[in-house]
Amino acid sequence: MEIERINENTVKFFLSYIDIEERGFTREEVWYNRDKSEELFWEMMDEVSDESEFEVEGPLWIQVHAMSGGIEVTVTRAQMSDDGEPLESPFTSDDPKKLFQHGKMYDHDDDDTMPGIGDAPFEWLDNMFIFAEFDDLIPLAGKMKEYEVKTSLYSFENNYYLHLLYDDEEMDDSRKTDLFSVLSEFGAPSNMTIHRLEEYGKSIIDADVFSTIHQYFGAK
């Protein structure tokens, strides 16, 4: 888990889906199971508190973003009014946000229900992986033939980024999970966005990355 202390009252962390699974949770539990998502959240907050000295006290505003390799969570201690009520959320009205307290997790507008970290069905549409060396991709090419996925490769800041775009009609979540495991043997999940790479990175192979690598480098 990557942790960034923003200021005295705010901390941000990125938790990959591998991190989530290593903690004994599934992505479905995180998004759709209220009890499990709350359990994971407080586990993460204990770790954040230990590593960043961020004091977990009182209600907390959280903002959750689903990313290609995991979830990015921003946590801000809620400012309280004179009568003890939390003030308005620090996030914009369009942000997915929740207000958490120990023993209770609730919406800002409805303090009785909370369906989980995500309000809408999660769509696993893509992944981004980072590789330190181009050579790391060569032995991977031969393992990718059986997976139906669109790929593109970019270089940015002395690293290589592999973007995978899925077609749900061709690959279900179980197959995506298998592919994710294979890729994790050679590279690492990244929260880099394809939009940033398209703007600031250099396109190396714009499509069919692994068949191209296999053609030119004879990957077995």
Q: Which long-range contacts (CB under 8 A, 24 or more apart) does 73-76 make?
A: 73/12, 73/13, 73/14, 73/15, 73/41, 73/44, 74/6, 74/10, 74/11, 74/12, 75/10, 75/11, 75/12, 75/13, 75/45, 75/48, 76/9, 76/10
* Separation CA 44–CA 159 (nearest Å): 29
- Residue 208 has what pLDDT? 93
- Dist CA 92 CA 49 (whole Å): 25
Buried b / exposed e over 57-84, threshold 16 CB at 10 Å, is eebbbbbbebbbbbbbbbbbbbeeeeee
**pLDDT by 10-residue block (mean), the chain, 220 residues:** 81 83 81 77 84 74 72 75 49 42 36 37 73 93 86 95 86 82 87 85 94 78
Q: How many whole angstroms from its chain centre is CA 19?
A: 10
Tell me the residue type at 201.
Answer: G
Rounded to 5°, the CA angle 2-51-130 comes to 15
Question: How high is the pLDDT of residue 82?
Answer: 52
Residue-wise pLDDT tens digits, 34-51: 778 778 888 888 888 888
Task: Answer yes or no: pTM beyond 0.75.
Answer: no
What pLDDT is attached to residue 80?
54
pLDDT tens profile 165-191: 888 777 887 788 888 888 988 998 887
Cα–Cα distance for residue pair 45/218, rounded to 1 Å: 47
Dist CA 67 CA 182 (whole Å): 19
Residue 14 confidence (pLDDT): 84
Q: Compute the radius of gyration of the chain from its Cα atoms.
A: 20
Give the span between the Cα atoms of 54 and 3, in whole angstroms: 11
Residue span(s) of the chain under CATH 3.30.70.1950 come to 126-217
Can you give the pLDDT at residue 50?
82
Q: What percentage of residues in the chain have a pLDDT greater than 70?
A: 73
Top CATH class, 126-217 = alpha beta
CA triplet 3, 46, 101: central angle to 5 degrees?
105
Beta strands (DSSP E) in the chain are 2-5, 10-16, 60-66, 70-77, 97-101, 104-106, 126-131, 150-156, 159-165, 188-189, 202-205
